[in-house]
């Protein structure tokens, strides 16, 4: 039984149950990383058959606002704030007319509320003045908006427009990319560049959501559940954790 009380599915063939040669990540070639990431994606798609953002939205604008609010905040908290927020400000024009101090109060529980409120008002004004009130559907235009970097743009493009121009790198993706040996970089844009060279483009839309799901349920920051993880045979970090725990039991 897994943590939801449902019976665990048998692991897919060619997946985590398949024995692999233990090698250090630094010794892996690009071709080996490409082969491994395909196996990782295959297993994660089996584990999480309907990958999608946890943020609740109805329009591209709502998703854009929710994604900005989600910075340094949980999706769960954002989902508690946005129903009332979107009722109070139902259009981009309403957000553009919002008073800074009032909007700050409305989103205060999401943290960093001053900067978020400032960016939401500024980008809404820009959308009204330069984009006819519509959220643009390209990376080039989205990153011109105040407070919108590649991570936010990638999430909006993937979820609202089904467009893959990159891979969103949030805290979960950054953590798992390092642990899985897919990137040794620490800066989001450099991690994204590494991932874009080894992840098949057909999987770019879902890759962030797959890693986020897995990061939340198994590969947590402080106490990863490596012994239960379906990626344990593909993960150099899991092998180290397992070895350390085994050594600790023998003491």
Same domain, 108 and 89: yes
- What total of structural domains would you count in the chain? 2
Domain CATH code at residue 100: 1.10.340.30
* Whole-number Å distance between alpha carbons of 11 and 59: 37
Instruction: Answer with the one of 115, 134, 153 that is the final residue of a domain.
Output: 134
CB distance 186 to 102 below 8 Å? no
**pLDDT higher than threshold 50 for residue 54:** yes
Whether 189 maps to a domain, the answer reads yes
Same domain, 206 and 224: yes
Q: How sure is the predictor about 6, in pLDDT bands with cuts at 50, 70 and 90?
A: very low
Q: How sure is the predictor about 147, in pLDDT bands with cuts at 50, 70 and 90?
A: very high
Same domain, 40 and 68: no
Whether 159 maps to a domain, the answer reads no
Q: What is the mean pLDDT of residues 178-188?
A: 93
Q: Is 157 exposed, middle or buried (0-12, 13-18, 19+ CB in 10 A)?
A: buried
Q: Could you give the percent of the chain with pLDDT greater than 90?
A: 80
**pLDDT higher than threshold 50 for residue 22:** no
Whether 250 maps to a domain, the answer reads no
DSSP string, 151-215: HHHHHHHHHHS---SS----HHHHHHHHHTTS----SHHHHHHHHHHHS-GGGHHHHHHHHHHHH
pLDDT at residue number 7 = 44
Q: How sure is the predictor about 247, in pLDDT bands with cuts at 50, 70 and 90?
A: low
Whether 233 maps to a domain, the answer reads yes
Same domain, 48 and 117: no
CB distance 78 to 55 below 8 Å? yes
Tens of pLDDT along 29-51?
A: 888 889 999 999 999 999 999 99
Tens of pLDDT along 94-144?
A: 999 999 999 999 999 999 999 999 999 999 999 999 999 999 999 999 999
Same domain, 78 and 47: no
Same domain, 42 and 74: no
Domain CATH code at residue 217: 1.10.1670.10
Same domain, 114 and 182: no
* Owning domain of residue 186: 25-52+167-244
Q: How sure is the predictor about 217, in pLDDT bands with cuts at 50, 70 and 90?
A: very high
Whether 176 maps to a domain, the answer reads yes
Tokens of 246: 């085994």
**Active site amino acids:** 151, 170
pLDDT at residue number 9 = 54
């Amino acid at each position: 039984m897994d943590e939801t009380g449902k019976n665990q599915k048998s692991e897919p063939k060619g997946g985590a149950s398949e024995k692999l040669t233990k090698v250090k990540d630094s010794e892996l070639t690009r071709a080996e990383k490409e082969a491994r990431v395909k196996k990782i994606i295959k297993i994660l798609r089996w584990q999480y058959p309907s990958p999608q953002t946890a943020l609740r939205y109805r329009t591209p604008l709502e998703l854009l606002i929710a994604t900005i609010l989600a910075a340094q905040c949980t999706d769960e908290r954002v989902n508690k704030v946005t129903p009332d927020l979107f009722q109070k400000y139902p259009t981009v024009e309403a957000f553009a007319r919002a008073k800074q101090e009032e909007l700050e109060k409305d989103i205060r529980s999401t943290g960093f509320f001053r900067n978020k409120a400032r960016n939401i008002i500024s980008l809404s004004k820009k959308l009204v003045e330069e984009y006819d009130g519509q959220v643009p559907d390209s990376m080039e235009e989205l990153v011109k908006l105040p407070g919108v970097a590649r991570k936010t743009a990638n999430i909006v493009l993937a979820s609202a427009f089904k467009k893959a121009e990159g891979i969103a790198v949030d805290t979960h993706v950054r953590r798992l990319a390092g642990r899985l040996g897919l990137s040794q970089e620490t800066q989001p844009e450099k991690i994204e560049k590494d991932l874009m060279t080894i992840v098949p483009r057909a999987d770019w839309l879902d890759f962030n959501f797959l890693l986020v799901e897995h990061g939340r349920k198994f590969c947590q920051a402080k106490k990863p559940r490596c012994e239960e993880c379906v990626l344990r045979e593909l993960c150099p970090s899991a092998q180290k954790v397992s070895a350390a725990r085994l050594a600790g039991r023998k003491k």
